[in-house]
C-alpha cells in the first residue's frame, strides 16, 4: 500500500494530482522553486520542499533534488505530472533505483516512445498505420542532411520535418518545395538541439488539413489495456493545442473502435503501464496515421474524465499500486460532450506575447457543467520563468451545443484583471460557425482567424472610454445613490495602451456624459458596488466588472477587456518614441539566434534576433532603418525584459 505521494511538478497539474491523492487518503508532498514559494500547489500539499532557485533548469528539472525531497519527507511514490521530467526515462529509472514507485510507465516504454523515429519503426512492426516518410537508415542511426534531402525527393512535397525527440511543435517545419529544404533542416536541427539536446530529424509526407485526434489508453501490469474514447485537438496555433474536445465531432463509432484498437495495440507493443495517449492524424477520408505516443497524463485529460465519469489520476495510482484496471473495455461508456480551452496570460493582439505581472483578480465563473483546473488565485504573480497558463476552462453538456454555450458564457463571465489574456480569442473560436459545425481542421485558425479583430490592437471606442471615465469617477467615492449628487463638469486624461486621451466628463444625478473631441456618449448609472458597476446603455442594463489599483483601472464589459490609467493630475512627460533604435528584449528569455553583425545595414521591421520564451520563438525586430552599432545579444544568453540587445544607428542620409 502506497501512503505518501510526491508531485514532481507545479501549477495546475500539481494541484489537480494533490486533490485526487488527498481524496484517496494519500499524504502529499509538493516541491517548489523559490519563485513558487507562495504557490497554490505548495499551500494545498501536506508538506513542501524547496528544490532550488527560480530558473527551471535548476529546480523542477533537478532529479537529484526531487529524490532528496522524497527521502526527507518519506514519500514512497512520485507522480511526474506533465512537462518537466514526466517523459524522462532516466528519471523514472532513478525513482525505481531509489526504491520508490514511479506513477507512470516503465522507463523502456518512455524511452522508445520519446523518439519519433524509433517509435514509428516500432509501430510499423506492430501493424499500426503510420504516415509515409523516412526515419533513417536503421534502428540505431538517425539520418544525415544528405540522406534527408535524398529521401525527400522520393516522398514528395509538401512534407514535414520533425525533431525525433520533439514535442509542442518545436523542431517541426512544413517544407513546401525542394529549395526550402536545406535551410529548414538547419533551422529544425538548431531548434531541436536547443529544446531537447538532440538534433535527430525525421521526414513525413505532409497530411494537408488533417484532424488531430488522440486516444486515451490505460494499461496495467496484468496484461489488460483499454481505450477511453478519443479527444479532438485539431484547433492549434503553431502546432500548440488551443481547444480540445471529447468526443470528436468527426469520428464515427466505427472509426472510434478502429483507432481505439490500434492505440491499445500500440500500448501493448511497448509493454505499457498506466495512462498514455496515442496521437493520430486523420485525413478527410477518415484514414488515420500514428503520430506519436505521449507517455504521461495529458493536459487535456479533463474532457475524457467528464464524458467517462472516471478519475484518471485515481486510475494512475491504482496501476502504480499493482492493481488491475477498474473497468473492462465493454464497461466504459461515453456520456455527453466536453470542451476544454487553455486560458493563458498572453496578448493575442500582439503576436500572443506572454504576459507577466500581478494577477490582481481571478474569479472563475460559476455554473452547471463547468470545471476549472488552475494553479493560481487572486494576488499571485505570473512569473516569466514558467509556462503562462492560468487555467484550463472545461465545460460539459448533454450535447456539443450545450457544452459550447456553457464554455462561451464561462469565458465571458470569468474575471481576470492584472494581465492580458487570450480569453476573448478563445470565446470567438468556440462561437465560430466553422467550429460549431464540427469542421475545424489543423488549418482552421490559420484560415478563419487570419484577420480576426481579436488578433489586432483595437483602439477604445467612445463607449468604452465613457465607461472607463464613469468607473474612475465613482470607484473611489463609495457612493451608491446619485439622485441628489450635484452637477459637475471635469476634465479627465486617460492613458491607454496606445495613446493618451483628453475627455470632458459631465455628471448630473444618474446621468454621465463623456466627450472626446467630436464624439459624445451618455450612460445612465443604475447601481454600484466595489468591483461591479451596473449601467443603462441605450436602454439596456449592462454589467461592468472592474478592478482599480491606484491610477490603474482594469475593466471587463461589452465582451471585451481593457485597461486605462488616470493621468489627469500627472505632469506631462517626454515620450520615448518609436524609431529610437534601441532594440530591447520584449520579455525574459533566451537568445537562440542572432541574425546580424555590427556594421550591417538593416531595414525597419527586419528581424535581428530570435528570442525563445515559454516554449515559443519570438522575433525581435528593428524599429528603424540604419546601421547596426552596438550588438549586445549573443546566442545562448539569458536576457531580461527591457534589456538592450541591439543599437541601430540612423544613417546620415536619413538624418539629413
Pinpoint the alpha helices (H) of 130-252.
145-155, 181-196
Is 187 known to be catalytic? no
Which H, E and C letters describe 54-80, residue by residue? CCHHHCCCCHHHHHHHHHHHCCCEEEC
Count the Cβ atoms, other than its own, within 10 Å of residue 191. 24
Using CA atoms, how far residue 348 sits from 7, 18, 52, 196, 426, in Å, is 32, 32, 32, 27, 10
Q: Is 169 left (phi over 0), alpha (psi -120 to 50) or beta?
A: left
Largest distance between two CA atoms of the chain:
86
Q: Is residue 108 within 8 Å of residue 271, measured between CB atoms?
A: yes
DSSP 581: -
DSSP string over 484-543 = TPPPEEEEEEEE-SS-EEEEEEEEETTEEEEEETTEEEEEEEEEEETTEEEEEETTEEEE
Tell me which residue has cell 473497468: 327
CA distance 20 to 22: 5
Q: Are strands 133-134 and 159-163 parallel, antiparallel or unpaired?
A: unpaired
Question: Which entry of 16, 117, 173, 296 is annotated as an active-site residue?
Answer: 296
Q: Is residue 68 within 8 Å of residue 81, measured between CB atoms?
A: no
The grid cell for 597 is: 553583425
| Edge-first strand listing for the sheet containing 77-79 | 47-52, 27-33, 4-7, 77-79, 101-102
Mind telling me the catalytic residues? 296
Amino acid at each position: 500500500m502506497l501512503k505518501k505521494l510526491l508531485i514532481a511538478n507545479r501549477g495546475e497539474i500539481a494541484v489537480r494530482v494533490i486533490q485526487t491523492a488527498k481524496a484517496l487518503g494519500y499524504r502529499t508532498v509538493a516541491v517548489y522553486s523559490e519563485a513558487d514559494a507562495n504557490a497554490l500547489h505548495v499551500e494545498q500539499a501536506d508538506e513542501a520542499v524547496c528544490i532550488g532557485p527560480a530558473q527551471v533548469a535548476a529546480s523542477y528539472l533537478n532529479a537529484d533534488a526531487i529524490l532528496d525531497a522524497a527521502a526527507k519527507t518519506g514519500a514512497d511514490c512520485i507522480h511526474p505530472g506533465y512537462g518537466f521530467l514526466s517523459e524522462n526515462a532516466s528519471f523514472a529509472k532513478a525513482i525505481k533505483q531509489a526504491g520508490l514507485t514511479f506513477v507512470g510507465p516503465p522507463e523502456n516504454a518512455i524511452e522508445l516512445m520519446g523518439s519519433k523515429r524509433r517509435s514509428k519503426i516500432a509501430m510499423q512492426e506492430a501493424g499500426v498505420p503510420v504516415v509515409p516518410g523516412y526515419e533513417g537508415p536503421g534502428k540505431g542511426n538517425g539520418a544525415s542532411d544528405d540522406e534527408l534531402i535524398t529521401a525527400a525527393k522520393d516522398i514528395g512535397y509538401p512534407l514535414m520535418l520533425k525533431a525525433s525527440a520533439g514535442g509542442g511543435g518545436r523542431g517541426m517545419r512544413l517544407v513546401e518545395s525542394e529549395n526550402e529544404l536545406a535551410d529548414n533542416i538547419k533551422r529544425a536541427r538548431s531548434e531541436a538541439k536547443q529544446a531537447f539536446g538532440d538534433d535527430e530529424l525525421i521526414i513525413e509526407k505532409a497530411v494537408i488539413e488533417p484532424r488531430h485526434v488522440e486516444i486515451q489508453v490505460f494499461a496495467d501490469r496484468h496484461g489488460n489495456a483499454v481505450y477511453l474514447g478519443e479527444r479532438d485537438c485539431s484547433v492549434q496555433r503553431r502546432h500548440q493545442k488551443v481547444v480540445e474536445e471529447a468526443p470528436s465531432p468527426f469520428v464515427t463509432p466505427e472509426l472510434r473502435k478502429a483507432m481505439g484498437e490500434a492505440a491499445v495495440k500500440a500500448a501493448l507493443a511497448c509493454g505499457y503501464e498506466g495512462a498514455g495517449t496515442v496521437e493520430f492524424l486523420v485525413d478527410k477520408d477518415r484514414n488515420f496515421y500514428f503520430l506519436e505516443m505521449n507517455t504521461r497524463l495529458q493536459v487535456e485529460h479533463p474532457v475524457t474524465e467528464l464524458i467517462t465519469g472516471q478519475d484518471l489520476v485515481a486510475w494512475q495510482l491504482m496501476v502504480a499500486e499493482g492493481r488491475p484496471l477498474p473497468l473492462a473495455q465493454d464497461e466504459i461508456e461515453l456520456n455527453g460532450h466536453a470542451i476544454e480551452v487553455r486560458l493563458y496570460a498572453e496578448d493575442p493582439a500582439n503576436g500572443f506575447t506572454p504576459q507577466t505581472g500581478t494577477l490582481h483578480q481571478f474569479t472563475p465563473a460559476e455554473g452547471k457543467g463547468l470545471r476549472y483546473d488552475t494553479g493560481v488565485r487572486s494576488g499571485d504573480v505570473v512569473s516569466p520563468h514558467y509556462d503562462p497558463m492560468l487555467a484550463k476552462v472545461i465545460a460539459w453538456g448533454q450535447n456539443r451545443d450545450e457544452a459550447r454555450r456553457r464554455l462561451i458564457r464561462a469565458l465571458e463571465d470569468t474575471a481576470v484583471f492584472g494581465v492580458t489574456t487570450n480569453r476573448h480569442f478563445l470565446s470567438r473560436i468556440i462561437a465560430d460557425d466553422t467550429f460549431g459545425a464540427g469542421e475545424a481542421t489543423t488549418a482552421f485558425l490559420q484560415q478563419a482567424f487570419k484577420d480576426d479583430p481579436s488578433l489586432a490592437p483595437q483602439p477604445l471606442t467612445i463607449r468604452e472610454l465613457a465607461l472607463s471615465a464613469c468607473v474612475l469617477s465613482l470607484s473611489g467615492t463609495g457612493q451608491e445613490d446619485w439622485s441628489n449628487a450635484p452637477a459637475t463638469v471635469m476634465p479627465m486624461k486617460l492613458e491607454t495602451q496606445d495613446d493618451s486621451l483628453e475627455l470632458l466628463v459631465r455628471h448630473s444625478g444618474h446621468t454621465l456624459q463623456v466627450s472626446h473631441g467630436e464624439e459624445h456618449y451618455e450612460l445612465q448609472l443604475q447601481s454600484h458596488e466595489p468591483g461591479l458597476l451596473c449601467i443603462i446603455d441605450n436602454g439596456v442594463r449592462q454589467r461592468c466588472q472592474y478592478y482599480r489599483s491606484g491610477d490603474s483601472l482594469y475593466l471587463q464589459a461589452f465582451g471585451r477587456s481593457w485597461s486605462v490609467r488616470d493621468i489627469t493630475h500627472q505632469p506631462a512627460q517626454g515620450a520615448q518614441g518609436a524609431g529610437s533604435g534601441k532594440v530591447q528584449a520584449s520579455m525574459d528569455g533566451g537568445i537562440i539566434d542572432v541574425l546580424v553583425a555590427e556594421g550591417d545595414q538593416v531595414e525597419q521591421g527586419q528581424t535581428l534576433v530570435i528570442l525563445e520564451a515559454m516554449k515559443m520563438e519570438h522575433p525581435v525586430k528593428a524599429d528603424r532603418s540604419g546601421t547596426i552599432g552596438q550588438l549586445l545579444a549573443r546566442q545562448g544568453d539569458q536576457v531580461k525584459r527591457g534589456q538592450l540587445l541591439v543599437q541601430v544607428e540612423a544613417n546620415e542620409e536619413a538624418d539629413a
